[in-house]
């Protein structure tokens, strides 16, 4: 299942996602992964949550992000949840360009039973229509 956390820059989305990841770890039966653009927030996460910094893997578009997420799941069948902060931060793509990415992500999420929590830098009322089918946190 895909969950979106929407808000404008500076609205506390990252803290909400970090707190949610740390909270989910308490009841997790599988592994949790947190993806961010760099290492700035890594210390705020419980050390049992796998942290991945995008700047270490040259992820600069949504196709590469899809590949990274697919690779994470392929390597570790016990991944239960993936948290993504700064989805578009390192790309030149816009939220309107992300329809195919979210379609692919939904297929992966459903097929491998992995929950995806994604921060979106946009007011909830302004997200493209194709994102409205997902759950908002």
Q: Three-state SS string across the chain, please? A: CEEEEEECCCCCHHHHHHHHHHHHHHHCCCEEEEEECCCCCHHHCCCCCEEEEHHHCCCCCHHHHHHHHHHHHHHCCCEEEEEECCCCCCCCCCHHHHHHHHHHHHHHHHHHCCEEEEEEEECHHHCCHHHCCCEEC
pTM for the predicted model, two decimal places: 0.94
Domain ranges of the chain: 2-136
- Residue 75 CB contacts under 8 Å (≥ 6 apart), including other chains: none
Q: Note down pLDDT in tens along the chain; length 137 residues.
A: 999 999 888 888 999 999 999 999 999 999 999 999 888 888 999 999 999 998 899 899 999 999 999 999 999 999 999 999 988 887 888 899 999 999 999 999 999 999 999 999 888 889 999 999 999 98
- Which superfamily does CATH assign the domain made up of 2-136 to? P-loop containing nucleotide triphosphate hydrolases (3.40.50.300)
């Amino acid at each position: 299942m895909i969950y979106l956390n929407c808000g404008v820059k500076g609205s506390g989305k990252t803290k909400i996602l970090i707190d949610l990841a740390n909270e989910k770890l308490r009841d997790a039966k599988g592994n949790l992964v947190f993806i961010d653009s760099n290492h700035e927030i890594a210390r705020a996460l419980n050390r049992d949550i796998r942290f991945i910094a995008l700047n270490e893997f040259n992820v600069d578009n949504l196709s590469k992000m899809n590949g990274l997420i697919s690779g994470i799941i392929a390597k570790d069948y016990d991944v239960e949840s993936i948290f993504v902060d700064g989805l578009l931060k390192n790309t030149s793509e816009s939220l309107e360009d992300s329809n195919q990415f979210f379609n692919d992500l939904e297929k992966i999420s459903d097929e491998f039973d992995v929950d995806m929590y994604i921060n979106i830098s946009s007011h909830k009322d302004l997200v493209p229509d194709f994102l409205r089918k997902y759950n908002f946190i």
